[in-house]
Structure 1
Amino acid sequence: MKKLIIFGLTDAAELALYYFSNDSDYQVEAFAVDPAYMPADKRFKGFPVVGFDEVPRIYPPDCYVFFVALGYSRLNQIRKEKYLAVKALGYEMVSYISSRASVLTEDIGDNCFILEDNTIQPFVRIGNNVTMWSGNHVGHHSCIEDHCFLASHVVVSGRVTIRESCFVGVNATLRDHVTIGANCIIGAGTLILEDAAAEGVYVGQGTERSRVPSTRVRNI
């Protein structure tokens, strides 16, 4: 069983601790964080916390593996920067792929976080440092490039390409054969029927409040 260091102290790190501890062959040993964010007691969820600058000395790369547990802040750039910093230190980066996901491809990069109920069809390619929250569908021959974040219940149809560092919100739908340019934000509930140029922001329409108050609705 390989010994694992997790970077981060956010909710994402707590979730990574849960998933790796309960559904993987890795043993969590400690957490790492930038020194400015070091907790006073140097502990997190019962585990030691070390400054990132001290990690190679205390937990050397030849004995430990690493996972960066960060969200999509600054359109995935913070997670990307820390991923590259850990790689530069010589650590093996590991992925978590839920045993409750239907994964029919082996072409998945490192430092990926793929949660339960994802369906990933044959011939899909997933890059490095990709987060896929629960319940997404990724159709055949699609490609999700490095540093992307897919929230829950996204539908990616067949032969879709999502370029680097995109965010795709809950319940978004991407038609087959479209390409999403790098650094796009695809908002919750969005329907994409054609290619999306790089750095685009696509926002779905929210439901408006009815003029009728709930106290006047008779059938509920």
Structure 2
Amino acid sequence: MDKSPNNAEKLVIVGAGELAEIAYEYFTYDSKYEVVAFTAEKDYINRDKLYELPVVPFEEVQQIYPANEYKAFVAIPYTNFNRLRTRLYYETKNKGYEFVSYVSSKAFVWKNVTVGENCFIFENNVLQHHVHVGNNVILWSGNHIGHRSVIKDHCFISSHAVIAGNCEIGESCFIGINSTINDEIKIGKDCFISSGALIIKNTEEGKIYKGSPAKASPVDVYKYFNIDRERVFNKNH
């Protein structure tokens, strides 16, 4: 693909950790975008450069890389149960940036699938007929997303999960490695589905599910991860 200076779209990656490094590699070698810088909150910057590119304070990024000239991708994993990625997503949006999404050239994504902004879809994912993926969603490698299933905003799907047809994954969920969600299941928002769990019925909001078939743990997500149930992010933009 043509990444000459006149054609490449310039991209700033929000984050400077492992996922940011992965995002740099994938955007550089498998997209039309040219990564020009990384940005992180100043209290968390521990190096000046990454991949020979500048790491600049997030608090100042729009002065250095104006939003009308550069696009953004927030490369944060499921830290603090997706809350950190969600906060930085809205803060970046409020700075005026347009987001990009990455879909691996080695993923199978059917032609009527819709994918929102600031999504990262790794290799070997299968997204079938009329799947909808919301905003700020990460699908690690090798997942199966069945026909007409919906993944709502701010979710993290780890690896080799099977989500059957006509399912709905609520906002800000974590779906663990090798978990299975049967047909027409609704997963409540803020659910943690443990590795290897088998979900055979709808789940309650904010619960941790494990086992086969899966059952809810007595301690919920909010207590286990020490997060607020109703965290309000500034969504003005």
TM-score > 0.5 by shorter chain? yes
Give, in whole Å, the separation in 1 of the partners of 2:96 and 2:211: 42
Question: Which residue is equivalent to 2:104?
Answer: 98
Percent identity between matched residues is 45
Assess if the C-alpha contact under 8 Å between 2:82 and 2:156 holds in 1.
yes
After superposition, residues 36-55 of structure 1 pair within 5 angstroms as 36-40=43-47, 42-55=48-61
Question: Which residue is equivalent to 2:75?
Answer: 69
Question: Which residue is equivalent to 1:139?
Answer: 146
CA offsets per residue over residues 8-51 of structure 1, 9 Å max, x none? 111100000010001000000000000001224x1112110100
Give, in whole Å, the separation in 2 of the partners of 1:188 and 1:112: 22
Question: Which residue is equivalent to 1:154?
Answer: 161
Question: Which residue is equivalent to 1:57?
Answer: 63
SS at match of 1:93: coil
Using the TM superposition, give the Cα deviation of residue 185 of structure 1 relative to its aligned residue in structure 2, in angstroms. 0.1
Count residues in correspondence.
204
Assess if the C-alpha contact under 8 Å between 2:117 and 2:135 holds in 1.
yes
Question: Which residue is equivalent to 1:19?
Answer: 26
SS at match of 1:92: coil
CA offsets per residue over residues 155-207 of structure 1, 9 Å max, x none? 000000000000000000000001000000000000000000100101237xx
Assess if the C-alpha contact under 8 Å between 2:175 and 2:194 holds in 1.
yes
Assess if the C-alpha contact under 8 Å between 2:14 and 2:38 holds in 1.
yes
Assess if the C-alpha contact under 8 Å between 2:121 and 2:139 holds in 1.
yes
Assess if the C-alpha contact under 8 Å between 2:113 and 2:127 holds in 1.
no
Question: Which residue is equivalent to 1:28?
Answer: 35
Assess if the C-alpha contact under 8 Å between 2:113 and 2:128 holds in 1.
no
TM-score (norm 1): 0.91
Structure 1 runs (4+) greater than 3 angstroms displaced: none
Over the aligned positions, Cα root-mean-square deviation in angstroms equals 0.9
TM-score (norm 2): 0.85
1:89 to 76, 91, 95: 95
Question: Which residue is equivalent to 1:78?
Answer: 84
The question of 1:114 aligning with 2:117 is answered no
Supply the AA of the counterpart residue of 2:68.
Answer: D
Assess if the C-alpha contact under 8 Å between 2:178 and 2:196 holds in 1.
yes
Question: Which residue is equivalent to 1:123?
Answer: 130
The answer for unaligned runs of 5 or more in structure 1 is 206-220
Give, in whole Å, the separation in 1 of the partners of 2:185 and 2:46: 45
Question: Which residue is equivalent to 1:171?
Answer: 178
Question: Which residue is equivalent to 1:201?
Answer: 208
Give, in whole Å, the separation in 1 of the partners of 2:116 and 2:208: 26
